[in-house]
Structure 1
Amino acid sequence: MKTIATPLAERMRPQTINQVAGQKHLLGVDGVFTRMVESKTIPSMILWGPPGVGKTTLARLLAEATTRPFKTLSAISAGVKDVREVIKEASYAYGTILFIDEIHRFSKSQQDALLNAVEKGIITLIGATTENPSFEVNSALISRSQVYVLEPLKKEDLVWLINRALKEDVVLKKKNIVIDENVALLRYSGGDARRLMNLLELSIDAAKEDDNSEIHINDELVALVAQQKAVHYDKKGDSHYDIISAFIKSIRGSDPNAAVYWLARMIEGGEDPKFIARRLIISASEDIGNANPTALIMANNCMQAINFVGMPEGRIILSQCTTYLACSPKSNASYTAIKDAQKIVQKTGDLPVPLHLRNASTSLMKELGYADAYLYPHNDPQGFIPQEYMPESMEGNTIYQPKQNAREQEMLKRLQLMWNKKYNY
């Protein structure tokens, strides 16, 4: 019976802190993890980062460095009962480190079961998550833990991992492997060390030795082995929010090139085109507003066209709208105005509506003077008659401030002409 070999990714799992790739901000000479190892003091912590950057490995190495008991649970399969059993065992082995992978998958009750043990120091919790702990981990648990952000591995980190595997792995070092090109290896790995090792191993297995007993790895071979999109995009995870944020910020920053790039990332990742269209509508009002009122019409029509046409042709409509919004003049005056107005309302409460602005829909209301002093603007040839529209204590309060763009400057001139110095326009 043929023995199944241990995967390369597992064989190359770091055995010391020095073998961990990347994370120099945590593992450098003055890095916080380096100091923990030296002092043998480990606090409860949440390790937040993308897949394959060493969260599980770091937890194990920190435990080994402090020679403390190490227990692991997976949030996918463990329940409250499992958590309580570990805590009970830990009460006899004080200072036990409990590692919980994918802690964001724990329910509130499961996370709550950890609180008392963490607070009393019965266990030292190390939770690993690919999701933003601010949204996925109980605030009470976060307040009892340190949150450390692990970064995606950089190009130099991935190249270092490849070279280390070729030189140190018990299997690969016996072979004459030549990396002719590494672009595809790096691209398809997506900054994930585990994925990189798996892809390298598959590519080596798929390659044939030449006459010189050399195994050549090139981009064409890697792409053939990978057979997948070079896109990491989790529609329910952090990358979803990060990329849409980059998309909107690029539009706001008037960079159509960056905006359409992030649009392509979302489309290639399978994002719902209606979600993108909705965000374009919001951006048209929030970031462009009256600097170009047509932007909102364009974005709204984009949504209607997406519903009518669908994908893949809908990508062209999304691109047209995206580049139009990115190239439009920008103003957040409307967004700022409603935000400031809400703050005023929250501060001043329910101020009474002036009598002349009230609706006199009954005879009693008319007797009380409702709408008596109201001046109908259309009775004036210019369609404007100066009168007070604010509550008495709010008279002269300026909320809407036009920006320095052509359209809003035209609006400003009209406001100045109508209101004179009333609103300091």
Structure 2
Amino acid sequence: MQNEPLAFRMRPRNLDEVVGQQHIIGKETTLYKMIQNGHVPSMLLYGEPGIGKTSIAHAIAGNTKLPFFSLNATHAGKKDIEQIVGEARLVGKVILFLDEIHRFNKLQQDTLLPHVENGSIVLIGATTENPFHDVNPAIRSRCGEILQLKRHTIEDIKQLIRNALTDQERGLGKIEIDISDEQIEKIAIAANGDARKSLTLLESIYFASDEVDGKIIIKDHIIEHLSKRIGVYGDKGGSHFYNLLSALQKSVRGSDTNAALYYLAHLLENGDLIAVCRRLLVMAYEDIGLANPDVGAHVYAATESAKVLGLPEARIPLANAIIEMCLSSKSNSAYSALDSAIAMIHEGKTGDIPSHLRDAHYEGAKVLGHVGYKYPHDTPIGTFGGWVDQQYLPDNLINVEFYKPVIAGDEKRMAAIYDRLKNFKSPK
């Protein structure tokens, strides 16, 4: 058993040994009470790697004493599932833990789901992807619980580390290890909420440390060396990656410079520079917009520079762009106005283009009545340029307003012009 990784050995054997995730499996939750009373519902566990999906499944199995089987949907075939179905027929009920359930194919599904439906197989599925996006609806409909796990707190991780250091049967409790509370906290911080990584890091530190007079001496420099990059997680194109992009944009929109830089750092460590650049350009026009029109050009220059430079130097222009966007005046009025117009079109609220606005660059246009257009440039108005009072919207949409100015930054000046031009128009 000692040849198995420490993280594997320290998996909880029952629900009371689970550290963290108390909002899901704590003693006061309905799920805990159901399991304690002998009822285990099929469920989906959703969350990042290392935050306890597999551990919770094993803990549930430990509480119920039902036969427990574990498969990975990426590798399992129809034959594997048929064997578990056969076991369920023999013993009456089994628990099947199916990791990466979002990769479940139709053949696997057709073999398994009837037995989940009749209750002979309790399905506990685990996924790092959003189950509402990536898990087959047929599976979701048969799982009574869809549970989102949270990243472990530093206190959770410290408790896991202390459990491993004191457990004499499965952990390192039989070994005298000189490690301080401060060092335990450093390991917990480096693990970044990932229980598996914390115990893997602890085990690596143990094996990299020297023994002096029968005692393992943990040194800070070993912790620091082995901790590098351990906090980075996020597969390109996965749910967590898109959550990071979302958090980045919402932090910029909320003008929180430090949060925005944090999420940018996370995204760049994942390495998908193109996706980050695309999102920054969208943000420049969606969230800054008319309040500071120069930002669009600045962000475009920064993202193009980043693509030419490549990582790690690309972080430099992108950091400038993020801070400028965070601290800029903001407006979403332009794209909101366009979305309002699109919505009106989808609702069927359209009308005929006024005759004087229709194409008149051909012989016969006058016969069709395409006349009467007044050329605004022929009528200067102050320093604004040319303007003339004439109808542009269809007859049935006159006086409709899609654009609602935001009085912020440069848009304050534009809003004043917009209101002044409305006052120049003759009532319709």
TM-score normalised according to structure 2 size: 0.90
Structure 1 vs Structure 2 CA RMSD: 2.5
Distance in 2 separating the partners of 1:24 and 1:423:
66
1:198 corresponds in structure 2 to 200
Measure the CA separation in 1 of the matches of 2:321 and 2:306: 11
Q: Quick one: structure 1 residues 209 and 63, their matched pair in 2 at CA, closer, same or farther if it must change by over 3 Å?
A: closer
Distance 1:420 1:193 in 2: 64
Change in Cα spacing, 1:167 to 1:304, as seen in structure 2 (3 Å) is closer
1:75 equivalent in alignment to 2:77: no
Alignment of 1:65-214 (within 5 A): 65-111=63-109, 113-145=111-143, 146-170=145-169, 172-180=172-180, 181-211=183-213, 213-214=214-215
Task: Name the CA shift for 1:200/1:274 in 2 (closer, same or farther; >3 Å).
Answer: same
The aligned runs of 1:312-323 (5 Å cut-off) are: 312-323=312-323
Task: Output aligned runs, 1:19-38, within 5 Å.
Answer: 19-38=17-36
Contact in 2 for aligned 1:397/1:423 (Cα 8 Å): no
Query: For 1:413 and 1:206, how far apart are their aligned partners in 2?
Result: 68
Deviation at 1:109, TM superposition (A): 4.8
Equivalent residue, structure 2, for 1:343: 343
Q: Is the 8 A contact 1:233 1:240 kept in 2?
A: yes
Q: Kindly tell me: are residues 183 and 220 of structure 1, through their superposed partners in 2, closer, same or farther at Cα, counting changes over 3 Å?
A: farther
From the superposition, tell whether residues 104 and 306 of structure 1 become closer, same or farther in structure 2 (CA, over 3 Å). same
Separation of aligned partners in 2, 1:82 and 1:120: 19
Describe the shift of the 1:351–1:119 C-alpha distance in structure 2 as closer, same or farther (beyond 3 A).
Answer: farther
Q: Which residue of the other structure, out of 392, 395, 399, is the alignment partner of 1:392?
A: 395
Aligned to 2:300: 300
User: Quick one: distance in 2 between partners of 1:278 and 1:113?
Assistant: 42
From the superposition, tell whether residues 423 and 67 of structure 1 become closer, same or farther in structure 2 (CA, over 3 Å): farther
Instruction: Please state whether the residue corresponding to 2:95 is helix, strand or coil.
Output: strand
Tell me the equivalent position of 1:329.
329
Q: Which position in structure 2 is the counterpart of 1:240?
A: 241
More displaced stretch, 187-196 vs 134-143: 187-196
Aligned to 2:290: 290
Distance 1:114 1:404, change over 3 A: farther
User: Aligned partner of 1:375: which letter?
Assistant: K
1:188 alignment partner AA: A
SS at match of 2:212: coil
Determine if contact 1:206/1:225 at 8 Å carries over to the other structure: no
What secondary structure is seen at the aligned counterpart in 2 of 1:21? coil
Contact between 1:48 and 1:132, CA under 8 Å: does it hold in 2?
Answer: yes
Supply the AA of the counterpart residue of 1:193: A
Q: 1:410 to 1:423 in 2, by over 3 A?
A: farther
- Paired residues of 2:93 and 2:120 also in contact (CA < 8 A): yes
Distance 1:84 1:336 in 2: 53
**Length-normalised TM-score, structure 1:** 0.90
Q: Is the 8 A contact 2:389 2:425 kept in 1?
A: no
Q: Aligned in 2, Cα 1:26/1:423: closer, same or farther, shift over 3 Å? A: farther
1:23 deviates by 0.8
CA contact (8 A) 1:291 1:330 kept: yes
Write the letter of the residue equivalent to 2:148.
V
Letter in 2 for 1:105: R
Structure 2: tracts of 5 or more residues without a match: none
**Letter of the 2:206 counterpart:** I
Q: Write the distance in 2 (CA, Å) between the matches of 1:423 and 1:175.
A: 90
For residue 96 of structure 2, give the secondary structure of its aligned residue in structure 1: strand
Post-superposition offset of 1:91: 4.4
2:116 is paired with a residue whose SS is helix
Deviation of 1:85 after TM superposition, in Å, equals 4.5
Deviation at 1:177, TM superposition (A): 1.4
Aligned mates of 1:15, 1:283 — CA distance in 2: 47
SS of aligned partner of 2:71: strand
Task: Give the aligned length.
Answer: 419
Moved more, 16-25 or 75-84: 75-84
Report if the CA contact (8 A) 1:12-1:169 is conserved.
Answer: no
Looking at structure 1, the residues matched to 168 and 192 of structure 2 have their Cα atoms a distance apart, in angstroms, of 22
Q: Render the CA deviation track for 1:118-160: whole Å, top value 9, x for unaligned.
A: 3333422110111211221012321221211111221111111
- SS of 1:420's equivalent in the other structure is helix
Any idea what the Cα deviations from partners look like across 1:353-392, whole Å, max 9, x if unmatched?
222211134444421212x122221121221111111121
Q: Secondary structure at the match of 2:366?
A: helix
Pair 1:91–1:376, CA change in 2 (3 A)? farther
Question: What is the CA distance between 1:191 and its match in structure 2?
Answer: 2.1
* Distance change >3 Å, CA 81–CA 388, structure 1 → 2: farther
Cα deviations by residue, 1:215-239 (Å, 9 ceiling, x for unpaired): 2223322233456554223323333
Percent identity of equivalent pairs? 38
Matches within 5 A, 1:402-413: 402-413=405-416
Other structure's SS at 1:62 match: helix
Maintained 8 Å contact 2:6/2:203: yes
Q: Could you tell me which residue of structure 1 aligns to residue 224 of structure 2?
A: 223
Q: CA deviation at 1:164?
A: 1.5
Equivalent of residue 45 in structure 1, options 22, 43, 46 = 43
